[in-house]
A and B are shown apart, each in its own frame.
Chain A
């Protein structure tokens, strides 16, 4: 790694990448997203935290339209989110997504998982795709597992493969939907380290997580959600040491110091 340390402020200068404007969504009677306004700049790492049921996963999933929205607008790199069809598929290729339950393709080897999108979506030829896939697998530390099937790997390894699979598409932004929530405690760090490295390399990231340590060390901004609203947005130091809203104080008092 080069020793050029890009300070967090420097990275956040070249314009807005993801913009959500007054986004609303209902699940039946439940108003799960209420007037969400959120802007994420290029190179920024935003961590979304909040109690379960606060709508943070749903928020994450609306950004590549795995969940549709009822009202409002979402733009990515200046373009509004397309409806179904080819345009939407093209957009999703530019938005990497990492799921809580990994969701690696169970009938394909680790290597094939990382090659599939490159070959079928980006139309890269097979040899190049394999070369890139192996490089990415090495980067996330599972290069030696390339020929295995997902079920033969530990949860932490699977999640790192899932990150490599998303990176293989050269995404503009990466979405992480509780990437460590399904992992055994001793495997959480290996995944967080990969994510921290990504953040240092300047990837734009939106991370829904309960890992407060990651939020403190890697985030440029913490977004606190409760009951479908964004209650508070602040730099991590400020948020954790001096939360403004009562809801955030209450939440932090329950998860920290015990």
Chain B
């Protein structure tokens, strides 16, 4: 029944999906946290940049952003992303687009987490002489993160599925292989089911594990 899978590297394609997801997740967590820090900072220029960035980026379709990384940054401006290999270039451009896009959502999740931390926590931190950065990194963000693990799990699941857009610039991940297989084989429905199942296998544990973590790490007040 599953003969049609012969000759295709389905696991390899999903491995590419995992790599895209993992690297982009780390990148967007870092960039998103920095953006959130900017949005709550006392410096108006940083606040302005954070606000403008988030409101522009989250309102552009991911396909447009990824295509812009490839066609704009790579083809027009000649950004090689530190490699001459086309596949490596494509991977890095996709990660760049995914990080830039996902970070906007991470930023907003963290910012809503910051709003759950009572004002008194930051006041107490400042009162013992901690700087703005120390107050944020030692007191406010650790509590904010714990309260938004649930929403961040949503972002991570969306990111996993969004990696399929990288197929548009030729990154050989799961959706790219699926398209090839549908063109070549007759069992369209089965192929669809196999790939759908593959994504559920990736995302379901993410949601369960992070949901458990979010309960475990919740800050008691």
Q: Does A183 contact B (CB under 8 A)?
A: no
How many Å lie between the Cα of A103 and that of B124 in the bound state? 6
Residue from the list B126, B143, B219 in contact with A66, Cβ < 8 A: B126
Q: Does A239 contact B (CB under 8 A)?
A: no
Q: Which of A86, A90, A105 has the most CB of B within 10 A?
A: A105
B59 to chain A, nearest CB (A): 34
In the complex formed, the residue of A with least CB distance to B137 is: A120
The answer to whether A105 touches B130, judged by C-beta atoms less than 8 angstroms apart, is no
The answer to whether B139 touches A105, judged by C-beta atoms less than 8 angstroms apart, is yes
Contact A66-B138, Cβ < 8 Å, known A84-B42, A106-B143, A107-B143: no
Chain B, residues 149-176, CB within 8 Å of chain A (1/0): the string is: 0000000000000000000000000000
Contact A106-B128, Cβ < 8 Å, known A116-B138, A120-B134: no
How many Å lie between the Cα of A78 and that of B219 in the bound state? 41
Q: Chain A residues near B131: list those with CB within 8 A.
A: 86, 89
In the complex formed, the residue of A with least CB distance to B217 is: A107
Residue from the list A86, A93, A99, A149 in contact with B124, Cβ < 8 A: A99
Q: Does B19 contact A (CB under 8 A)?
A: no
Q: Chain B residues near A66: list those with CB within 8 A.
A: 123, 126-127
Contact A105-B121, Cβ < 8 Å, known A120-B134, A151-B221: yes
Q: Count residues of chain A with CB under 8 A from any CB of chain B.
A: 32
Residue from the list B129, B219, B220 in contact with A117, Cβ < 8 A: B129
B30 to chain A, nearest CB (A): 21
Interface positions, chain B 24-78, Cβ under 8 Å from A, are 42
How many Å lie between the Cα of A64 and that of B123 in the bound state? 11
Q: Does A101 contact B (CB under 8 A)?
A: yes
In the complex formed, the residue of B with least CB distance to A118 is: B128
Q: Does A121 contact B (CB under 8 A)?
A: yes
Q: Does A166 contact B (CB under 8 A)?
A: yes
The answer to whether A166 touches B128, judged by C-beta atoms less than 8 angstroms apart, is yes
Q: Does B120 contact A (CB under 8 A)?
A: yes
Residue from the list A84, A97, A106, A121 in contact with B130, Cβ < 8 A: A121
Q: Chain A residues near B127: list those with CB within 8 A.
A: 64, 66, 92, 95-97, 99, 166
Chain B, residues 178-221, CB within 8 Å of chain A (1/0): the string is: 00000000000000000000000000000000000000000111
Q: Chain A residues near B124: list those with CB within 8 A.
A: 97, 99, 103-105, 162, 165
Q: Does B13 contact A (CB under 8 A)?
A: no
How many Å lie between the Cα of A66 and that of B128 in the bound state? 11
How many Å lie between the Cα of A116 and that of B126 in the bound state? 12
The answer to whether A151 touches B129, judged by C-beta atoms less than 8 angstroms apart, is no
Contact A121-B142, Cβ < 8 Å, known A66-B123, A105-B121: no
A52 to chain B, nearest CB (A): 19
How many Å lie between the Cα of A102 and that of B118 in the bound state? 12
How many Å lie between the Cα of A179 and that of B220 in the bound state? 22
Q: Chain B residues near A107: list those with CB within 8 A.
A: 139, 142-143, 146, 219
A7 to chain B, nearest CB (A): 31
Q: Does A173 contact B (CB under 8 A)?
A: no
In the complex formed, the residue of A with least CB distance to B42 is: A84
The answer to whether B138 touches A103, judged by C-beta atoms less than 8 angstroms apart, is no
How many Å lie between the Cα of A66 and that of B121 in the bound state? 13
The answer to whether A105 touches B125, judged by C-beta atoms less than 8 angstroms apart, is yes
Q: Does A169 contact B (CB under 8 A)?
A: yes
The answer to whether A165 touches B128, judged by C-beta atoms less than 8 angstroms apart, is yes
The answer to whether B121 touches A93, judged by C-beta atoms less than 8 angstroms apart, is no
In the complex formed, the residue of A with least CB distance to B142 is: A107
In the complex formed, the residue of B with least CB distance to A64 is: B127
How many Å lie between the Cα of A103 and that of B128 in the bound state? 12
How many Å lie between the Cα of A97 and that of B138 in the bound state? 19
Q: Chain A residues near B134: list those with CB within 8 A.
A: 120-121
In the complex formed, the residue of B with least CB distance to A117 is: B128
Please give me the 3 A-B residue pairs with the lowest Cβ-Cβ distance, nearest first: A93-B129, A103-B124, A117-B128
- Chain A interface (Cβ within 8 Å of chain B)? 64, 66, 84, 86, 89-97, 99, 101-107, 116-117, 120-121, 149, 151-152, 162, 165-166, 169
- 6 A-B residue pairs with Cβ-Cβ distance under 8 Å, sorted by A, are A66-B126, A96-B127, A101-B120, A103-B118, A103-B123, A106-B220
